[in-house]
Structure 1
Amino acid sequence: MSLLGDAMLPVVTALAVGAIYGVSGVGYVLAVWTAPFVIFVLFGGVFADRVGARTMMVGADVVRIVTQGVLAAAFFAGSPPFWLLLSASFLSGTAAAMFQPGVNGMVPLVATDPQRANGTLKMADAATQVGGPVLAGVLWVVAGAGTVYAVDAGTFLLSGVCLALIRLPVPVRSGRPSTVLRDLRRGWSEFRSRSWMWSVILIWVFFGILVFGPYVPLGSRLIGDRLGDVAYAWVMAGLGAGTVLGGLIAIRLRPSRPLAAGGVAMSGFAFIPLSVALELPLPLLMAGHLVGGMSWAFWSVMWSTSVQTQVAPDVLNRVTAYEVAGSVAGMAVGQALVGPVVEFVDPRALVFVSAVVSVAVCAALLLTRPVRNLRRVPGPR
């Protein structure tokens, strides 16, 4: 349910905010969501290790119920001021930062086979990627932005209720006194000691700046202006359908070098920006996003499983926080810069650049020896 709310958010932001404040407004609102996520996700990892992932995730859902509910009321009343959109986005991003580390950290606690669990989670994610954008797009056309934000708030309410029903053992803390700063340093030490991990994150910074960050505002504009707002939602649904297939494949395939296999698979992600830049018709746009979704899902399962099986459980949430922060940092920069850049550069040209960068990222992953040579930890088959 939380993933459904997350899947609706970019679409409603692109449509509702874009209709009032344009591409720059969309980029700034998304960037203001992403920036606090990057900053506070480290603390989310620390607190999840201290008080338990479930507690942090439920609290984060409560905050997002409030932020999305306030935005729903504001859109029902008229056109919300830009400061309110930015403020709600900031709080929502902070709450997501408290939520996200626990997602990865809880998998080993409830699953004996992390790869199968991650594949299943990717399929659940895909179901929301199919349903969330379509739901947001249809509600936008039929009932307006206020209804979309109200339904979004409802997804976080249901998520919090579901999470509250999970019962996990209270985390065992060592008798040695600790502080937040010391916990942060321990997480950084664990992260830095794994060259395969920080190498991937370094590559992902460039991926975020030049591909992930610009894609939502640019893709929504280029597809929406040419084919209509609902077409953009259907294209995102194609991405979700691809994620379902990629998750199924990732459940079955267990390569001995998971990140190398994931890097090869990621080459298909280039079809997403390429299909937009070439201004293909809707069926081919959806096909390009389907292939890209398969690639992204397979890589994500290989990556998540590697992190969960290679890192000790008592520091997993903190290490996860560092890798998430690094992955998202570039995205925040890309979102913030896309508005000013499109004033001087043709949006289609920028999307072509994203396609080229996608291929270069795959090459960089495969050329990095610690990434290429990382072995899978044996587990259930």
Structure 2
Amino acid sequence: MTTATAIPVEEHVPDRPAHHDPNVLRWLGAYTSSMVGDSVYYIALSWAAVQAGSPSQAGLVMSVSALPRAVLMLGGGVIADRLGPRRVVIGSDAVRCATVLAVAALLCLTSPGLWPLALLALVFGTVDAVFVPAVGALPARITGRDQLARVQGMRGLAIRCASVVGAPLGGLGVAVGGAAAAFGLAGLLIAVSVPLLITVRVRELPADDRAGTARGTAWSDLAAGLRYIRGHRVLAPLMIAIALGDFGFVGPFNVGLTLLADRRGWGASGMGWVLAGFGVGAGAVSLLLTVRGRLPRAGLVAALSILAGSVAIGALAFVPDLAGAVGVALLVGLLAGLSGALCGSLLQTQSDPAYLGRVTAVSSLVSLGLTPLSMPFSAAAIGAWGLGPVYVVSAVVCGLGGLVALCVADLRRAELPR
């Protein structure tokens, strides 16, 4: 992992809103460029894998990154807290950029088969294990606590932008110059983030917060982080609520949506319209948080949003026509986007900065490492019992997350800082 030379830090965060702060905007530009590069990378990887092997082999290549990401994610949180999130993000993007460009050059010179693609996916998964916790910990070091909800909205907009822009760019790269050109484009987009991140200024941790980092071995630091989460009166139930919400959501809106579109006769274009409806809803919430910056009674609003969103998820399986499904998906996007943004903001504001890498690692392990494992079971359950029962059960699981948030008083009463 490469490291970055420290630059002068800001002792005080400026009073200006985050969306007017050049320091935050440099971070946002870096994050957006990196996320668009990721989207292009996945298009290039899937295309190259299909061209080099059978569909089953391509599927294995695409899944290679999941194992190191899941296994190493908690350790990545320790690294982010020990070395500092900015340094880890810069190093992660530099490694990803170099690896993608190396594979692009290799594909230009020869046809090496699947092994370099599998190695690339393995490297990406390993680097993601430290990149994701560091990305989650960085906002608290570049702006004030009262701006973290706004930053969460800005981050949501960046993710939506990456999903809208990245896929067409990846397809264009493949059409113009094949997988090699698409990989080269992905590497260049990721490379743009590095100089921007180098110019981002971070705050030093106060002496009391620094006591939470580097107390002993990596194992002791990890154990300290897990104890910190378990003993926290807001973070512990919030992690449970996030986990239940994710487990209830991932099946219906991944493999479930594919099967729903197929059985309703909507086809791939219909599924695209449903996903677009969801994206518009989630993007609207991100824009709202970016402009407004804070919503009162965040814990209660998050709980009610999860509960209402779970009802909408269950209803999606019983909508007979495409227009209705798009409308329901729009509602799911609004509610899931709102609950997700508020839960993310509460994670940011309730955590001590010294533990934020480890806190992010635990929440990301659930979202990126464990919940995808439920997709094969969702597909098998739909085949055995049909769409309706599986969507209803998923909605109940998701709703349990809302009940946890509603019933735990400390979480229900949690507020975002003013």
- Structure 2, unpaired ranges of 5+: 1-32
Pairing 1:33–2:76 present: no
- What are the within-5 Å matches in structure 2 for residues 163-178 of structure 1? 163-171=197-205, 173-174=210-211, 177-178=215-216
SS across alignment from 1:167: coil
CA RMSD of aligned residues (A): 4.1
Q: Closer, same or farther in 2 for the Cα pair 1:176/1:7, shift >3 Å?
A: closer
Pairing 1:333–2:376 present: no
Question: Match for residue 316 of structure 1?
Answer: 356
- Structure 1, unpaired ranges of 5+: none
Q: TM-score w.r.t. structure 1 length? A: 0.79
Q: Closer, same or farther in 2 for the Cα pair 1:22/1:361, shift >3 Å?
A: farther
Structure 1 stretch 306-315 or stretch 29-38: which is displaced more? 29-38
- Partners of 1:5 and 1:221 in 2: CA distance: 30
Shift of 1:88: 1.2
Shift of 1:185: 0.4
Question: Match for residue 228 of structure 2?
Answer: 190
- Partners of 2:120 and 2:374 in 1: CA distance: 20
- What are the within-5 Å matches in structure 2 for residues 1-381 of structure 1? 1-18=33-50, 21=53, 24-25=56-57, 27-76=59-108, 81-112=113-144, 113-171=147-205, 173-174=210-211, 177-193=215-231, 194-203=235-244, 206-207=247-248, 210-211=251-252, 214=255, 226-227=267-268, 239-251=278-290, 252=292, 254-256=295-297, 257-264=300-307, 266-267=309-310, 270=313, 280=322, 290-334=330-374, 337=376, 355-368=391-404, 369-370=407-408, 373-380=411-418
Shift of 1:289: 5.5
Larger Rg: 2
- Partners of 2:262 and 2:184 in 1: CA distance: 24
List per-residue Cα deviations over 1:185-231 (Å, max 9, x = no partner): 011111222431331254256347735674799799999x9558xx9
Amino acid at match of 2:408: P
SS across alignment from 1:144: helix
Confirm or deny: 8 A CA contact 2:249 2:395 kept in the other structure: no
Q: TM-score w.r.t. structure 2 length? A: 0.73
List per-residue Cα deviations over 1:168-201 (Å, max 9, x = no partner): 2455644985111110001111122243133125
Amino acid at match of 1:374: R
- Partners of 2:98 and 2:261 in 1: CA distance: 27
Shift of 1:115: 0.9
SS across alignment from 2:65: helix
Q: Closer, same or farther in 2 for the Cα pair 1:208/1:240, shift >3 Å?
A: closer
Report percent identity of matched pairs.
Answer: 24
- Partners of 1:287 and 1:152 in 2: CA distance: 34
Confirm or deny: 8 A CA contact 2:241 2:402 kept in the other structure: no
- Partners of 1:162 and 1:21 in 2: CA distance: 38
Say which structure is richer in helix. 1
Structure 1 stretch 55-64 or stretch 206-215: which is displaced more? 206-215
Task: Tell me how many residue pairs correspond in the alignment.
Answer: 370
Q: Closer, same or farther in 2 for the Cα pair 1:82/1:370, shift >3 Å?
A: farther
Structure 1 stretch 86-95 or stretch 288-297: which is displaced more? 288-297
Confirm or deny: 8 A CA contact 2:97 2:188 kept in the other structure: yes
